[in-house]
Amino acid sequence: MQTPEESRKRLAMAIIEYLDKAVADSLISTDGAESLEIAKQCISDAFELDLEDDAETKALSLKPFSLDKVFDVYMATQAKLESSNSTDKAPVDATPTNTASGPLDEDRMRADAFKAEGNSFVTQKDYKNAIDAYTRAIDLVSDTAVYYGNRAAAYSQYGEHEKAVADAKQALEIDPSYSKGYSRLGLAHFGLGQYKEAADAYTDGLALDPGNKVMLASLESAKSKLAASSVSDRAASPASAAAQGSAGSGGGGFDLASLMNNPALMNMAQSMMANGGLESLMSNPSVSRMAENFRNTGQTPSMADMMNNPELMDMARNMTGSAGGSSGNAGTADSSANSGSSGAGSNPLASLMNNPALMDMARQFMQGNNGGSGGQQ
């Protein structure tokens, strides 16, 4: 049996532990916390407690109970007694009982003690032990949103973002008005790179707590990341579209493989490289602009644009003229292209324009780019 001296020391230790809990739960301001440190020192001196002696503090501690929870049990008992007296019933048993309304009061006291322990681990950045402490609280009382919300934050800090998402959603299922649940959910989605979901969560949280500076800043960060990822996706899409367009003609697109295997085109390319036509073509400003536009947007120029471009038409006429390009030479050019001839007198551009196979490819290409009927349904 405890002596009166031991009882007084245990009560003093309970007060000190409650003051520590008030600081850990952020129930008071920073200035208030400094005042409580002075108060703790005064209490320990008055009751001759050595707070540095782990053995003594453990022997006198009320944990896992706490003074505020003992007080809550006392007040609940008093209320039951008053209700019983007012209806002329016999006094009720003050011992907590497990009812359909929820867990035992003792379990709630222990769960809150574990939550406080988890909060302490978080301040020490010991997230693994914090998760364990919150889990023990949840095992005792599974209907409190704060326990899940705190564990979600610890999971995020520990890098287990999927579990953080699950805990945050569970917290909000228990209490949809728990604004911190949306903050925890946003943080978890952000950690997974799911910036849209993060922004949505922060937006929902700010609807409940519009002045929350942390969520306001987090929302801006998520929006910034989302915008950056959208720009990156748009930059990558032209290359992707070009790759899809060159993959084959099954969807009405341009068959690059067939083009590269066409003898007429290959003879034309060899001829242009031999007589300087390719160098002249690539140095033309209009061709350079079209190539730059394709590199930046992935959009090929339409045949109508090329036919209406005076610079390109002048270049075509010049190349035709240099090869003796009268209308009477068309048949010679056509015959030369079809026979695979690459003599010095042939005109590669005229050969290209007069080759039926290549022009058929061009028509397929234009139909594919204009959404022709060859696409998949």
Each residue's pLDDT tens digit, 190-210: 999 999 999 999 999 999 999
What per-residue confidence (pLDDT) applies to 251?
Answer: 42
pLDDT of 35 over the 80 cut: yes
First to last CA, the chain: 87
- 170 vs 149: CA distance, rounded Å: 8
What per-residue confidence (pLDDT) applies to 303?
Answer: 58
The model's confidence at residue 335, banded by pLDDT at 50, 70 and 90, is: very low
Least confident interval from 11-25, 117-131, 178-192, 335-349: 335-349
Segment 5-30 mean pLDDT: 83
Helices 4-24 and 105-123: angle between axes, nearest 10 degrees: 60
pLDDT of 98 over the 60 cut: no
What per-residue confidence (pLDDT) applies to 1?
Answer: 59
What per-residue confidence (pLDDT) applies to 219?
Answer: 94
The model's confidence at residue 356, banded by pLDDT at 50, 70 and 90, is: low
Each residue's pLDDT tens digit, 134-161: 999 999 999 999 999 999 999 999 999 9
Q: Which residue has the higher pLDDT, 333 or 213?
A: 213
Share of the chain above pLDDT 70, in %: 55
What per-residue confidence (pLDDT) applies to 192?
Answer: 95
The model's confidence at residue 51, banded by pLDDT at 50, 70 and 90, is: confident
Q: Which residue has the higher pLDDT, 30 or 377?
A: 30
The model's confidence at residue 100, banded by pLDDT at 50, 70 and 90, is: very low
What per-residue confidence (pLDDT) applies to 237?
Answer: 56
Each residue's pLDDT tens digit, 282-297: 666 766 677 676 666 6
Mean of the per-residue pLDDT values of the chain: 73
